[in-house]
Amino acid sequence: MFDLHCHSYRSDGEWSPAAVVARARERGVRVLALTDHDTTDGYEEAAAAAGEALRVLPAVEISCSWSGKEIHIVGLDVDRAQPAFAGALRQQQARRWTRMQGMADKLARDGIADVMSEIRALPAVSPGRQHLARLLVARGHVRDAERAFARYVGRKGSAYVPAEWCTLDEAVGWIVAAGGLAVLAHPGRYDLSGGALLKLMTAFRDAGGVAIELSYPQLFIEEAQRLAGQARKLGLLASQGSDFHSPAQHWTDLGRTPPLPPDIAPVWSLRPHWLPAADAGLAGGSAVA
């Protein structure tokens, strides 16, 4: 079983990389991509925790902008040491820290002080608004993260600072240059019309992207069918991932990925060696489900 999208506390997930891997193994995952936002720093810990029955892929989820929208690109099986790729992630992280500082300054004007020292103490190397929201809840300024976004850190909030991401072409280009496979993350979550979505997917493919996620939490059947139709039209492969962040998100769990359309090749057909040695041995014998 493949789960090619999840997060640890190196970005906005709740668990350590080792805890994510342990849960994935319990849930029967054989190939896991730890796709923290704009960092691969959790990879070594995750790989060390993996054991024989599970393979961890070095992977990432890059935030970029396209046509004024924030779009997420997953990079699978990347060479983390490739200099342009590593440098690009450092730049993305630096932008995140600058943005956090800007929002912390605005919060300080609202009487909410010492935000950055608390953010810096977290294990996250890629901080985001989710971290600020949790802090605002923990300090009792708001009742829940939703209200933290509405009042402070959301687009209309008093502490909002817009993000400055790289372009779609840059994000895909870095992944490809690092030997990875670029996957368009959760394409149904961008609030795009059919025409705009097809434009996005075309730009993504033309930049070097190979697959789109067609199985992820809260993707409902009609939307899944619309996306699958566009993937077929453009010759894109299919990927799947739980986008797991925290056990509190009861609607998803590691390895929980509804089936892909049977007529669209999965992204792992490009990298058959991903399956752990134990499975590769089995695959040589009789058919394996």
Q: Which residues bind to Mn ion, rule: CB under 5 A?
A: 12, 61, 72, 185, 243
Closest approach of Mn ion to the CB of residue 262, in Å: 25
| Tokens standing for residue 122 | 């977290």
| Closest to Mn ion by CB, 52 or 191 | 191
| Closest to Mn ion by CB, 61 or 77 | 61
| Closest to Mn ion by CB, 72 or 256 | 72
| Tokens standing for residue 65 | 């902008």
d(CA 235, CA 180): 18
106 in Cβ contact with 161 (< 8 Å)? yes
Instruction: Decide the pairing of beta strands 166-167 and 55-66.
Output: parallel
Closest approach of Mn ion to the CB of residue 61, in Å: 5
Beta strands in the chain (DSSP E): 2-3, 31-34, 55-66, 69-76, 166-167, 181-184, 211-215, 237-240
- Amino acid in position 260: L
Residues in the chain: 289
| Closest to Mn ion by CB, 12 or 170 | 12
Number of residue whose CB is nearest Mn ion: 72
Closest approach of Mn ion to the CB of residue 282, in Å: 30
Closest approach of Mn ion to the CB of residue 212, in Å: 13
| Closest to Mn ion by CB, 45 or 243 | 243
Closest approach of Mn ion to the CB of residue 48, in Å: 22
- How many Cβ atoms sit within 10 Å of the Cβ of residue 161? 17
d(CA 71, CA 63): 6
